[in-house]
């Protein structure tokens, strides 16, 4: 069984900003993303993170790619060596968009899992690495968030014949591992093993590369701002889809880019603020 993730549910989660606030009130997110020649995912996730309200963002990328970040997203701070990071500084951590699956990257994912002081959002290549190292699942910080699409989900938890079967496994694994699973599809399913929701926003214009990277950035932003992991996932999935629906006012489902969607996150916030 699941509940519909709709406007009424989102209104019970969303907390409008206090006018008397500063950047420190909205958390510091760490995003580990990007690799040589795959920096688009890092840029997309970073922009969506900041559009979703994170007070501060540190982006860990390869040092030789720093000029790309400085020119495309100057609002982000940049780090280059994972071993030099003080994880106690960050309110939320995400890893995966565009990091590749090389051996040295496996070591980086393992390091983040072992050293994070908060729940982690794992997406994309981090999920593929996790699928090869199943024993790491039990080491995840409680209430971490996995955001697989169907193929990534099957790599993690075995082949399934239908979306119904995947949802059943998602509920079981979320409860067993004490995590949140965001099973991405045309009707994204979110569960913590006890409560489950089916999203009501979004359209097929999101069926393009980069959409998942943007969602990862939004979830880690919400977590940095103090929302619980399940709340962060619900709020982000709904707003991500709503921004895509708003984008249809100026783009078609075929022409929509995730960059267009990110630019409409603000309009999505305005709708739920009313």
pLDDT tens per residue, range 92-132 = 999 999 999 888 999 999 999 999 999 999 999 999 999 99
**Mean pLDDT in residue range 225-248:** 98
Residue 37 within a domain: yes
Give the mean model confidence (pLDDT) for residues 232-249.
98
Indicate the range of 59-73, 162-176, 250-264 predicted with least confidence. Answer: 59-73
- 73 part of a folded domain: yes
Model confidence at 45: pLDDT above 90: yes
Q: Say if residue 66's pLDDT is above 90.
A: no
* Residue 32, domain member (yes or no): yes
Question: Looking at the 3D structure of the chain, how many domains does it have?
Answer: 1
What domain range is 230 assigned to? 3-12+23-273
pLDDT at residue 225, as a whole number: 98
- What gap in Å lies between CA 253 and CA 51, rounded to an integer? 22
SS (H, E, C) 155-175: HHHCCCCCHHHHHHHHHHHHH
Q: Alpha helix locations (H) across the chain?
A: 7-13, 40-51, 66-72, 103-115, 125-132, 150-157, 163-177, 211-224, 229-247, 258-263, 265-273
Residues 6+ apart with CB under 8 A from 255: 205
Q: How far is CA 74 from CA 59, 66, 86, 163, 218, in A?
A: 11, 11, 22, 40, 18
Share of the chain above pLDDT 70, in %: 100
pLDDT of residue 92: 98
Q: Are 172 and 207 in contact (CB under 8 A)?
A: no
Q: Does 17 map to a domain?
A: no
Asked whether residue 18 is domain-assigned, the answer is no
Binned at pLDDT 50, 70 and 90, residue 17 comes out as very high
Q: Does residue 215 fall inside a structural domain?
A: yes
At 188-229, the pLDDT tens digits run 999 999 999 999 999 999 999 999 999 999 999 999 999 999
Identify the pLDDT of residue 65. 87
Query: What is d(CA 76, CA 24) in angstroms, rounded to the nearest whole number?
Result: 15
DSSP secondary structure letter of residue 17: P
Sheet with 56-60: list strands edge to edge: 3-5, 196-199, 189-191, 180-183, 145-146, 120-122, 92-95, 28-32, 56-60, 77-79
Span 72-83, average pLDDT: 94
Q: Which two tokens stand for residue 66?
A: 């720093």
Length of the chain counted residue by residue? 274
The pLDDT value given to residue 136: 97
CATH code of the domain covering residue 92: 3.40.1190.20
pLDDT of residue 102: 84
Give 246-256 pLDDT, tens digit per residue: 999 999 999 99
pTM: 0.98
Q: Would you state the pLDDT for residue 274?
A: 84
In a domain, 226, yes or no: yes
DSSP count for the chain of H helices, then E strands: 11, 10
């Amino acid at each position: 069984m699941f509940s519909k993730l709709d406007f009424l549910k989102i209104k019970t989660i969303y907390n409008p900003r206090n006018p008397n606030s500063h950047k420190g009130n909205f958390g510091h997110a760490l995003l580990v993303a990007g690799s040589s020649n795959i920096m688009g995912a890092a840029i997309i996730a970073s922009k969506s993170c900041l559009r979703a309200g994170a007070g501060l963002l540190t982006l860990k990328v390869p040092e030789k790619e720093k000029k790309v970040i400085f020119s495309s997203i100057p609002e982000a701070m940049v780090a280059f060596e994972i071993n030099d990071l003080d994880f106690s500084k960050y309110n939320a951590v995400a890893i995966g968009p565009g990091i590749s699956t090389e051996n040295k990257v496996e070591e980086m994912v393992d390091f983040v899992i072992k050293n994070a002081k908060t729940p982690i959002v794992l997406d994309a290549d981090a999920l593929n690495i996790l699928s090869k190292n199943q024993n790491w699942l039990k080491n995840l910080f409680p209430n971490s968030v996995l955001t697989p699409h169907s193929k990534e989900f099957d790599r993690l938890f075995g082949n399934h014949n239908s979306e119904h079967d995947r949802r059943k496994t998602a509920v079981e694994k979320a409860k067993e591992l004490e995590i949140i699973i965001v099973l991405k599809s045309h009707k994204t399913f979110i569960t913590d093993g006890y409560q489950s929701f089916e999203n009501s926003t979004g359209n097929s214009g999101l069926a393009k590369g980069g959409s998942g990277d943007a969602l990862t950035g939004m979830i880690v932003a919400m977590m940095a701002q103090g929302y619980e992991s399940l709340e962060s996932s619900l709020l982000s999935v709904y707003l991500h889809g709503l921004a895509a629906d708003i984008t249809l006012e100026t783009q078609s489902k075929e022409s929509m880019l995730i960059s267009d969607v990110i630019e409409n996150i603000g309009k999505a916030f305005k709708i739920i603020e009313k």
